[in-house]
A and B are shown apart, each in its own frame.
Chain A
Amino acid sequence: MPAECTIKKESMDAGHDLPGEGHKARIATFKVFRGDKNTGSEVEYKVPVEEGMVVLDAIHYIQRNISPDLAVRWNCKAAKCGSCSAEVNGKPRLMCKTRLDDFSSGEEIKVYPMKSFPVIKDLACDVSWNFEVNKKITPFTPKENTSWIMNQRDIDRVQEFRKCIECFACQNVCHVIRDHDLKPKFAGPRFFVRVAGLEMHPLDGADRLEALKNDMGIGFCNITKCCTEVCPEDIHITDNAIIPLKERVVDRYFDPVKIILRKLFVKR
């Protein structure tokens, strides 16, 4: 949400859809950001709680019963597509995976769009920049004359990176993007994971180290592991993807011994 955006407070409920007095159903209080890139307000909604309910169910309840124009992205509702990312009580979460019983009874649940991307409307924000970054990454390029035989132990590590569902929570929380807004110089953790998946693919023959250093700005990452903490797929982004890539870049471009060797033995 842009800094100039003003927050008003409003309150709405479903009227007849709420259980009446004497009903035992618990009611949760949601405060949802409603607005666009210019202006917005925090609107309060009362939502009856069912067993096993997740935040996305509450958002759908609000759409069906109170505000049909509440904008939100979602697809699978099973933590497989990465569409419904939002900030729930300040933490980047998949709404379909955030259960209401994780909150204490009576706790207000604030749902805001991801902060690092421009708001389109309500909970939907403009993540198109991420798709532009991906286009610039050299795609899988098989080594010549490969037999396509691979051992499971050699691909276990790469399969971890390929679990990414592109929820962009890591991009959202990364302070290089969130606080310093160094995009487009910095590609962000999602795309280091993507590059790690390519660079460590046993049959890939392309070289992306120069791009990592120059175009993707891997040096800006100071391994605070914020991305790893929010990954809903439990990918060890920092330890398994970013640090090994940083090591490869350092080995090539900043290792003094190698620099001297290269100067001595470089082909002329």
Chain B
Amino acid sequence: MSTLDRFEIHEHDVIVIGAGGAGLRAAIEASTNGASVGLVCKSLLGKAHTVMAEGGIAAAVANVDKQDDWQVHFKDTMKGGKFLNNWRMAQLHAQEAPERVLELERWGALFDRTNDGTILQRPFGGHTYKRLCHVGDRTGLEMIRTLQDKGVHMGIDVYMECTITKLLKDDGKISGAFGYWRENGKFVIFKAKSIILATGGVGKAYKVTSNSWEYTADGQILAYDAGAELIDTEFIQFHPTGMIWPPGVIGILVTEAVRGEGGVLKNKDGFRFMEKYDPERMELSTRDVVARSIYLENKDGRGSPHGGAFLDISHKGADYIKKKLPSMYHQFKELADVDITTGPMEVGPTCHYSMGGVKVEADTTATSIPGLFAAGEVAGGMHGANRLGGNSLSDLLVFGRRAGLHASEYAKKNSSKLKLDENEMKLAEKEMISFFERDEGENPYSVHTDLQELMQNKVGIFRIEEDLKYAIEQLKILKERAKKTKIEGSRMYNPGWHMAYDLQNMIIYSEAIAKCALQRKESRGAHSRIDYPNTDPEHGKWNSIVKKSNDGSLVIEKSPLPEMPKELQDLLKEKDLVKK
């Protein structure tokens, strides 16, 4: 019997891995373009991280501030990213976001309305104008449900609770993917002409995080292992406002919409400390600045009792708060016994988003591997050194659509029969089964806990050479420990086994974060070096690149920024259109 006969095999033109905003939007586009599409997701459909997005989708539809247009959005995005963004991605994003939002409305999404009956927009950090189209503080839920309902009626086959562990190639081109079913641990193969990675981020490598169990750098490492390059991995966004008390809720997100709707940050003395760090934009400064400010207030002994700051919106009145921020109201009331309509919330930074990721071509989202595409948080470049709030949901839609379009076009052009390499599949199978073969070994959760402590303390908001070098050494030890974990129980719905596999990915990506952080001897956006506190224009001329060398080790290098056309350069030089 050949290896192939042993496995369950599904065949599609395009396989999308991940069913958040980017994956769903990609699947819809590929299906519209005539491709047979399989959508594979680690959780149930509709539970991806997008569902937790709260504040809104940034798009210059100019319903509220008529002066807004794509040029201003582009400029804000580049400024927020400290000009390290891939300019073409930032341009496409700003140009296409409005159409993508209106399209959601045509598919049934119901955004909050202006008095004129158009989509209402709210202010957010780093955006010159009121730009975020929203639904209270549950915009992500509205988006994912709209896409999900659109997708399931298009004949897309959805493979839920299935984790991909290996990409398969034939003669250097993508030919499929290998994975396991969560329910019974059986292996499954997806044969495809092209694959879109839409697997999200890496936040589970940190101790305090707003990210779910799914965020373990799966797509980044699938691509890396297959030979694709990663870009700008040092940039990890710490969202300034996560819950910090009681212990059970540490890390849970408090939407930036609280500040967008007028919330103010105060230290223990009642001082609105953003006056000191960014007097012009105050609480609506960019996330990197606000997170650092809260950290510095604590370092100087002016933090809130549990090591954060006070965020107060109670002056807006109970009715307004319950209407505009209903889930924040319930979240604090039910989980922290705090009534945010009468008093402040206690908040502090939480690991939230990875700006870096798989390096892609801006227009097509293609990686360097023929047939492999990436969109959403798993891809890097769009947000540079720091992402603006609200730019993620629009990123998912703009580049999800582009990924679906170009992956399906690629599939049409490459209709020749692809072969699955039996050897590759055997190796992939062996790797997953090996966890069960040891009689002795550590609990994978202990290794994970140590990884999270290490990344939180040594590769967190503020970084310094000795910490980064220490972390790189420790990661080697963790990598060895992770290879020797022991799994209890069977392959059936076994989170310990899943963790053992996810750990490998998280550790490799953590190494990429630490090594690129060490290489970047300056502070820029979300990357703050205590030993190099200034932004150095020389370092603004290159992106970090990570790849797997022939001997299997992780190597990093610098790559010059793509050259920006003159008209966009001139645009960035223009004076601000409004005084912020």
Contact = CB atoms under 8 A, between A and B. Distances in A.
A151 B336 contact: no
Contacts of B183: 120-121, 124, 126
B560 interface: no
Contact of A50 (B51, B248, B335, B443): B248
B213 A52 contact: no
- Centre residue among B48, B140, B246, B488 by max chain A CB count within 10 A: B246
B45 A131 contact: yes
Contacts of B542: none
Contact of A52 (B117, B335, B444, B499): B335
A73 B43 contact: yes
Counting chain A residues whose Cβ lies within 8 A of the other chain, the interface size class is: 35 or more
B489 A69 contact: yes
Given A82-B47, A135-B152, A151 B113 contact: yes
Contacts of B445: 63-65, 68
Contacts of A28: none
B52 A78 contact: yes
Contact of B246 (A36, A52, A70, A74): A52
A159 B135 contact: yes
A97 B106 contact: no
B118 interface: yes
B334 A97 contact: yes
A5 interface: no
Contacts of A51: 246-248
A155 B46 contact: no
A124 B141 CA distance: 22
Contacts of B444: 68
Interface string B439-482: 00001111001000000000000000000000000000000000
Contact of A149 (B117, B252, B334): B117
A79 interface: yes
Interface string A108-133: 00000000000011101011100100
A67 interface: yes
A71 B248 contact: no
Contacts of B490: 69
Interface string B95-110: 0000000100111101
Nearest to A130: B44
B328 to A, nearest CB: 10
A204 to B, nearest CB: 8
Contacts of A72: 495
A239 to B, nearest CB: 19
B70 interface: no
B43 A152 contact: no
9 contacts: A50-B247, A57-B248, A68-B494, A75-B49, A76-B47, A79-B330, A121-B493, A140-B107, A159-B110
Given A51-B246, A76-B52, A166-B46, 19 more contacts: A51-B247, A52-B246, A67-B488, A69-B497, A71-B494, A71-B495, A73-B44, A76-B51, A77-B212, A77-B252, A80-B140, A83-B47, A131-B45, A131-B160, A152-B112, A162-B110, A162-B141, A201-B110, A204-B108
